[in-house]
Amino acid sequence: MLHGRLKDIYRDLCKIALIIYKYIYIYIKFLTVRLNKVNWNRWRAMHKISRRDFAKLALGVAITSISSSSIASIGFSRGKRFAMYIDVSKCYGCYACMVACAAENNVPVGVFRTWIERHVRSDGTIIFVPKQCNHCDNPPCVKPCPTGATYVNEDGLVLVDDNKCIGCGACVTACPYGARYKNPVKGVVDKCTFCDHRIYDGLLPACVEACPTGARVFGSLTTEGSEVRRLVDRNPVQVLKPEYGAKPMIFYRDLPEVANL
Amino acid sequence: MSWPAYPEGYMYPNEFFEPIVWKPIMTAYTTMIAIASGLAILMGLTLILNYKPLLRYLPLMGILGIASTLVLLLGPLADLRRPDQAFQIFISPHIMPSNTYPGISFIAIVAYMWPITIIVFTLVTLLVISADLLAKGGYYRILALGLKSEAEYPSYYRIARILAVILLILGLAWAFYYPGLLFTAESKLMLYNITPLLPLTYTLGALIASIFILSIASILTRIHLDNIMVKIIIVSALSIIFIKLIELLRVSFILSDIPVIDSLMRVMGGIIILTVILLILTVILGLYSLRDIRILPLASFIGFVAVILDRWVYSISVQQVSKTGIAIFPVHIDFVEALPISSLILLFLGLAVILSVILPTRSVILEKVLGGEKL
Ligand code: SF4
Ligand code: SF4
């Protein structure tokens, strides 16, 4: 009985503390609201939705399907908009793309510009999910870069200028997709470039060229009639961790929920 | 080939290559920021409010403030993989958002704030002690910033008070900087944002750190300690305890069933509890110090250790949680990492000693004010 009463008092005290906390929080929010829009949207969501839903959101399990109309709403302010379409059901885990990428771009051992995740479903089936830099349309990695070494080029590629990078790691921390690494050989930060040295010569990225099943399709979303545009328009596609607001430009088909952590 | 594996498969292999991107030197860096920003806030407020109990510490605050600010950026510099390109931050700072460079970098802003803080700290300090420098004669007159006679001092003091407003703003900006940087590191959103009151905690921690340094320096220079220092320590420690407790309550009541929070609590829960215990100890010893001021250095030292732990949690421990939120990386601290940390501390102490030899650590004219004379 006493125990129950103590529990009630404790609960009431917690409620009061939470109310006080909320006021302090609103005040702080007011002070810092401009710092990070995604951040506070998340908080707003947190206060509105149930704990269970929030847990899902926090885990990024809720994969958003992107319809063609929502693709049109992505703010392209540039001429071309390079993107990739990856059909997960076509990837059978041969790792040819990883090898081609490492060879093409001198990727040191232990780090990856692209990698293949391997997930085992409860029924025993295995799914392979290719991942890499998403060349996000609202890239969180560019914002904290102090020197402007990380930048967005006119076609939407997110690139790193080796001569400007000081290796502070702010972008590595900011990228939600683990796509960046500090190159142990060069000292600067590295990641997928969509093989910019190839595509502007009319070639395909090395990974796309190496893929034997055509699981990866590369092109410009803003170019009428491009294959990637057609596929993204016609198929139900998903992007990784949409809750971060990064607007990734890698569109997946048949992405398993488990690959979205 | 063997792959590092999460329960659901392997993910983000780049994380396994270098899980802790920002090394332990960042804790020393953020602690040094705490000292510098705390001193800037204290000095700014003392001058703006013309607060008599703290006036006698102004020269010391200035000297310690200049020394700590001067060494500040050596912390992150030691953590850069390409320190030879560090100058890029000054010649090509990312402070104007554009299509090519969206957003604004906090780090770039801080890089520019750094020389400004040094200049303002130096100017305010020299203005405050200008009469004493004039009295010393010789080359010291140059440092007196053109002061001709003691009669002119009140106008110098007034200018110092005006500059103190800028110093206070800079102090607050430094105190808020690191939490701000963390809040904008969006990938770790869930990790950092369980504590939206972090800027407040960091500011209060800065006050504790600066009082600790100030009390030690005061003892060494034989300036007697004042009860107001104890009160600042007690109020700051109590406030941090309050904030930490409500945050812990919130985490355990609202967010407890979220896996990422679970991971987070596993890496930082113990340290947070230890921090709170140390802060409670600080408050208890602080209350004793009100009766016997000699205990203040011990009370503030324990508070200072709590501040360092708090910095460790938000600079190192949070990095232990993977971007997936479900894996935890161990921290391997190499002995070589102690080298830049100790160099940073030694450099700060060395600079503080040199400056206190060059500049007067007590101001005769301010002592006169304390004796009842008007400026
Ligand atoms: S995936 Fe990461 S590195 Fe690539 S653009 Fe997005 S945030 Fe930047
Ligand atoms: S590591 Fe290089 S690219 Fe990344 S934020 Fe720092 S300077 Fe910019």
Helix axes B227-253, B296-315, angle to 10 degrees: 30
B190 occurs within a structural domain: yes
The pLDDT value recorded for residue B333 is 78
Q: Kindly report the CATH number assigned to the domain that includes residue B92.
A: 1.20.1630.10
Same domain, A62 and A88: no
pLDDT value at position B291? 93
Ligand 1 pocket, mutate which of A82, A111, A175, A251 (most atoms under 8 A from CB): A175
Do residues A178 and A111 both lie within one domain? yes
Q: Whose CA is nearest to atom 5 of ligand 2?
A: A145
B253 touching chain A per CB within 8 A: yes
pLDDT band with cut points at 50, 70 and 90 for residue B1: very low
With tokens 């016997």, the residue in question is B292
Listing DSSP states for chain A in one string gives -HHHHHHHHHHHHHHHHHHHHHHHHHHHHHHHTTT-HHHHHHHHHHHHS-HHHHHHHHHT--PPEE-HHHHHTS---SS--EEEEEEGGG-----HHHHHHHHHHTPPTT--SEEEEEEE-TTS-EEEEEEE----SS-TTTTT-SSS-EEE-TTS-EEE-TTT-----HHHHH-TT---EE-TTTSSEE-----HHHHTTTPPPHHHHH-TT--EEEEETTSTT-HHHHHHHHS-EE-S-GGG----SEEEES--GGGG-
Cα A14 to Cα A22, A184, B193, B363: the distances in Å are: 12, 49, 20, 50
Task: Give the least confident one: A7-11, A210-214, A234-238, B56-60.
Answer: A7-11
Q: What is the mean pLDDT of residues A222-237?
A: 92
Distance CA B369, CA B46 (A): 14
> What percentage of chain A reaches a pLDDT higher than 90?
57
Decide if B136 is inside a domain: yes
Q: Indicate the residue among A27, A59, A75 that finishes a domain.
A: A75
Across the interface, whether the CB atoms of B250 and A21 are under 8 A apart is answered yes
pLDDT surpassing 50 at residue A35:
no
Binding-face residues of B in 136-175 toward A, CB within 8 A: none
Instruction: Give the whole-angstrom CA distance, residue B2 versus residue B186.
Output: 31
Domain boundary among A75, A94, A109: A75
Examine the domain organization and report whether A42 and A107 are in the same domain. Answer: no
Task: Write the residue with the smallest CA distance to atom 6 of ligand 1.
Answer: A136
Q: How confident is the model at residue B130 (pLDDT cuts 50, 70, 90)?
A: very high
Residue A176, domain extent: 82-260
**Ligand 1 first shell, C-beta below 6 A:** A 133-136, 139-141, 158, 175, 177, 179-180, 191, 246
In angstroms, what CA-CA distances link B327 with A202, B134, B265, B266?
41, 62, 12, 11
Tell the burial category of B294 from Cβ atoms under 10 Å away from its Cβ (0-12, 13-18, 19+): exposed
Mean of the pLDDT values across residues A86-104? 95
Contact in structure between A189 and A182 (CB atoms under 8 Å):
yes
- Beta bridge mates, A217: A85
C-alpha to C-alpha distance for B136 and B306, rounded to whole angstroms: 41
Residue with tokens 């979220």: B258
**Structure confidence at residue A70 (pLDDT):** 43
CB atoms within 10 A of CB B28: 28
Whole-structure pTM value: 0.84
A56 & A178 share domain: no
The answer for residues whose C-beta is within 8 angstroms of residue B283's C-beta and 6 or more apart is B234, B237, B238, B241
| Residue A91 and residue A176 in one domain | yes
Ligand 2 pocket check for A136: Cβ under 6 Å: no
Read off the CATH number of the domain in which A210 is found.
3.30.70.20
Within this chain, do residues A105 and A178 fall inside the same structural domain, yes or no?
yes
Residue where a domain terminates, one of A38, A59, A75: A75
Structural domain total, chain B: 1
| Structure confidence at residue A61 (pLDDT) | 35
Domain enclosing residue B262, as ranges: 18-369
Residue B10 lies in a domain: no
Does residue A185 sit in the same domain as residue A217? yes
ipTM of this predicted structure: 0.86
Residues A90 and A59 in one domain: no
Q: Are residues A13 and A119 in the same domain?
A: no
CA A168 to chain centre: 21
Number of domains in chain A: 2
* CB A173 less than 6 A from any atom of ligand 2: no
Q: What is the mean pLDDT of residues A187-200?
A: 96
Distance between CA atoms of residues B369 and B375, nearest Å = 7
The encoded tokens of residue A36 equal: 């990070």
For chain A, give the mean pLDDT: 79
Considering the domain architecture, whether residues A126 and A51 belong to the same structural domain is answered as: no
Residue B49 lies in a domain: yes
| pLDDT surpasses 50 at A48 | no
The answer to whether position B87 is within a domain reads: yes
Same domain (yes/no): A96, A169: yes
Judge if A149 and A195 occupy the same domain. Answer: yes
Task: Assess contact for B253 and A18: CB atoms under 8 A.
Answer: yes
| DSSP H/E element including B93 | none
In this predicted structure, the answer to whether residue A22 has a pLDDT above a threshold of 90 is: no
Does any domain span residue B375?
no
Give the residue from chain A lying closest to B315, CA to CA: A173
